[in-house]
């Protein structure tokens, strides 16, 4: 197994449960990938995912390994889910209560309640077809994707999520509130299929949760399951290439020159990295370098992690998750995704785990991260972050001071900044993308790099760059797809005896 992201860890657990002897090779010194954490002066910074949806996905994963998820992870339901604030001072609080949501819609735009109720129905229908029907199913045979096309056509999957929101509500703020979710998995709402309305249903029915200790605590619990299965995670073990003999993957060569042989190789590295780097010496038919260059990639992220001293009693109206929407929505998306330009304005997501989780910050202090979507590094004339980072951070600081956390700059204690260049170097992410290949309709299901490699026998893919795609429920589900494709291993004792 190459990579100990949530996708790789889930896959190792599934393979362990099937009796496979698994070695996870991770180039970092910790598990979790984007879901890992760093610690500074008593602050824990959850580096990436903060919103845990679809808890049933984890419960089912643990159960498949004969374990109880709730005994290993302390998952807390959040209520409300998050708040969106607009520059005109208006705001919207999202929660699991349909009545409360209708009231929020009515408060902003009374004429849009009917349209909102239609959107809820849209979301439910898309959840049944798109989530229940596809997410955990293998999609590497064209037929599996083709047979859902009639339902997709009926549901107008060709229409974007923003197009659907536009058709249902008139208020620009509500259009944003109903369509921004794909940004959390790297998709441009102007192009991502309206099937992603299913996320609104997922949130409503299964809630929004936070794991005490952050997603890193979930990743740590996954590592313990893997070790209890008798398997292992090796850190600072960067795969340099997948070893191929007679057209079949037979192992992995590490950057230090060591070769590890295996009956099958699973890559949780980004699919772009897997094909362009790890299979660089192998002739590829589908995922060639020019094809990967033409692929639409998710956006990059500028993330500023910081601690503030003695602020726990401040900003009482700022909860766990806040979206500070900028003055422009579609035009900003155009700058980020199409023009590849670093805009003057910004929309921010602010994470404040210390209001839910006392382990996130020293007593009385706060831990935050603020995230701004920015262009990835693959655009013509990419942003040089070694030059731009300080100036951009200053703009983020000003926006936060003015819009959300007045006076916070005076309380700053520790900080760390990640730019797309950090993502490129830390996670070996092509173009420093936040979420791998963008989830457009023609880059999803069969059209995405397959879970069972099209290029080499014996190679499998899990994680954000394969089916079903990015986001924790997606990458953990990719491991379930994998387990449907890989047979049970021979019982280990028999294998050992056979080897002797």
Given candidates 14, 168, 191, 273, which one binds ligand FAD under the rule CB under 6 A?
Answer: 273
Of 86-94, 129-137, 268-276, 396-404, which segment contacts ligand FAD by CB under 6 A? 268-276
Within 13 Å, how many C-alpha atoms sit on residue 83's CB side?
A: 16
301 binds ligand FAD (CB under 6 A): yes
209 binds ligand FAD (CB under 6 A): no
Of 25-33, 97-105, 357-365, 444-452, which segment contacts ligand FAD by CB under 6 A? 25-33
Given candidates 475, 481, 482, 486, which one binds ligand FAD under the rule CB under 6 A?
Answer: 475
3 binds ligand FAD (CB under 6 A): yes
Q: Minimum distance from CB of 6 to ligand FAD (Å)?
A: 5
> The tokens of 141 are what?
């045979």
Minimum CB distance to ligand FAD smaller for 342 or for 371? 371
Q: Could you count the other beta carbons within 10 Å of the beta carbon of residue 389?
A: 18
The three state secondary structure string of 28-69 is CCCCEHHHCEEEECCEEEECCCCCECCCHHHHHHHHHCCCCH
Q: Where are the alpha helices (DSSP H) in 275-381?
A: 289-294, 330-333
428 binds ligand FAD (CB under 6 A): yes
Asked if residues 470 and 435 have their Cβ atoms less than 8 Å apart, the reply is yes
| Cα angle for residues 214, 362, 210 (degrees, 5° grid) | 20
269 binds ligand FAD (CB under 6 A): yes
Q: 3-class SS at 4?
A: coil
**Which residue of the chain is nearest ligand FAD when measured via CB?**
5
CA distance 10 to 78: 24
The secondary structure of 364-376 as a DSSP string is: T-EEEEEEEEE--
Map residues 224-253 to x or -, x wherever contact with ligand FAD holds by CB under 6 A. Answer: --------------xx--------------
Map residues 99-128 to x or -, x wherever contact with ligand FAD holds by CB under 6 A. Answer: ------------------------------
Asked if residues 191 and 439 have their Cβ atoms less than 8 Å apart, the reply is no
Which helix (H) or strand (E) is 248 found in, with range? strand 248-254
208 binds ligand FAD (CB under 6 A): no
Given candidates 15, 26, 165, 194, which one binds ligand FAD under the rule CB under 6 A?
Answer: 26
Asked if residues 208 and 78 have their Cβ atoms less than 8 Å apart, the reply is yes
| Residues 179-198 interacting with ligand FAD (rule: CB under 6 A) | 184
Q: Minimum distance from CB of 52 to ligand FAD (Å)?
A: 7
Cis peptide before 293 (omega within 30 of 0): no
Q: Minimum distance from CB of 442 to ligand FAD (Å)?
A: 20
Q: Minimum distance from CB of 435 to ligand FAD (Å)?
A: 5
Given candidates 16, 33, 187, 340, which one binds ligand FAD under the rule CB under 6 A?
Answer: 33
- Give the neighbor-by-neighbor strand order of the sheet with 248-254: 239-245, 248-254, 259-261
54 binds ligand FAD (CB under 6 A): no
Q: What is the rounded end-to-end Cα distance, in angstroms, of the chain?
A: 25
Residue numbers at the binding site for ligand FAD (CB under 6 A):
2-8, 25-28, 33-35, 48-51, 184, 238-239, 268-269, 273, 301, 303, 371, 427-428, 434-435, 463-464, 470-472, 475
């Amino acid at each position: 197994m190459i990579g100990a992201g949530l996708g790789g860890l889930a896959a190792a657990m599934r393979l362990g449960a099937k009796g496979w002897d698994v070695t996870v090779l991770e180039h970092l010194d910790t598990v979790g990938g984007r879901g890992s954490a760093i610690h500074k002066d008593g602050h824990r910074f959850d580096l990436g995912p903060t919103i845990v949806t679809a808890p049933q996905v984890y419960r089912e994963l643990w159960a498949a390994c004969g374990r109880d998820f709730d005994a290993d992870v302390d998952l807390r339901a959040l209520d409300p889910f998050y708040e969106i604030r607009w520059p005109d001072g208006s705001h919207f609080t999202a929660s699991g209560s349909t009545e409360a949501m209708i009231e929020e819609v009515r408060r902003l735009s009374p004429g849009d309640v009917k349209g909102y109720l239609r959107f809820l129905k849209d979301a439910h229908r898309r959840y049944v077809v798109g989530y229940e029907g596809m997410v955990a199913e293998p999609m590497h045979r064209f037929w599996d994707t083709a047979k859902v096309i009639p339902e997709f056509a009926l549901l107008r999957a060709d229409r974007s999520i923003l197009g659907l929101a536009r058709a249902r509500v008139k208020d620009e703020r509500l259009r944003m509130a109903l369509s921004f979710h794909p940004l959390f998995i790297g998709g441009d709402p102007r192009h991502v299929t309206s099937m992603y309305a299913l996320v609104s249903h997922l949130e409503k029915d299964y809630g929004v949760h936070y794991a005490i200790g952050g997603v890193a605590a979930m990743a740590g619990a996954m590592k313990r399951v893997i070790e209890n299965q008798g398997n292992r995670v090796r850190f600072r073990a960067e795969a340099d290439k997948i070893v191929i003999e007679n057209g079949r993957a037979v192992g992995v060569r590490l950057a230090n020159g060591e070769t590890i042989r295996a009956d099958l190789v699973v890559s949780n590295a980004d699919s772009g990295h897997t094909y362009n780097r790890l299979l660089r010496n192998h002739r590829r038919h589908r995922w060639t370098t020019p094809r990967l260059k033409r692929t639409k990639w998710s956006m990059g992220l500028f993330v500023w992690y910081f601690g503030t001293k003695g602020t726990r009693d401040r900003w009482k109206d700022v909860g766990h998750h806040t979206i500070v929407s900028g003055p422009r929505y579609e035009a900003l998306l155009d700058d980020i995704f199409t023009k590849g330009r670093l805009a003057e304005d910004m929309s921010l997501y602010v994470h404040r785990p210390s209001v839910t989780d006392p382990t996130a910050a020293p007593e009385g202090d706060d831990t935050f991260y603020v995230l701004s979507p920015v262009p990835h590094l693959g655009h013509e004339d990419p942003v040089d972050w070694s030059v731009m980072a300080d100036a951009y951070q200053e703009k983020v600081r000003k926006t936060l001071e003015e819009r959300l956390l007045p006076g916070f700059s005076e309380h700053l204690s520790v900080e760390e900044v990640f730019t797309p260049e950090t993502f490129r170097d830390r996670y070996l992410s092509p173009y420093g993308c936040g979420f791998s290949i963008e989830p457009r309709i023609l880059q999803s299901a069969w059209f995405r790099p397959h879970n069972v490699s099209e290029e080499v026998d014996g190679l499998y893919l899990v994680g954000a760059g394969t089916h079903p795609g990015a986001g924790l429920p997606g990458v953990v589900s990719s491991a379930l797809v994998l387990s449907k494709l890989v047979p049970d291993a021979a019982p280990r004792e028999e294998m050992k005896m056979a080897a002797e």
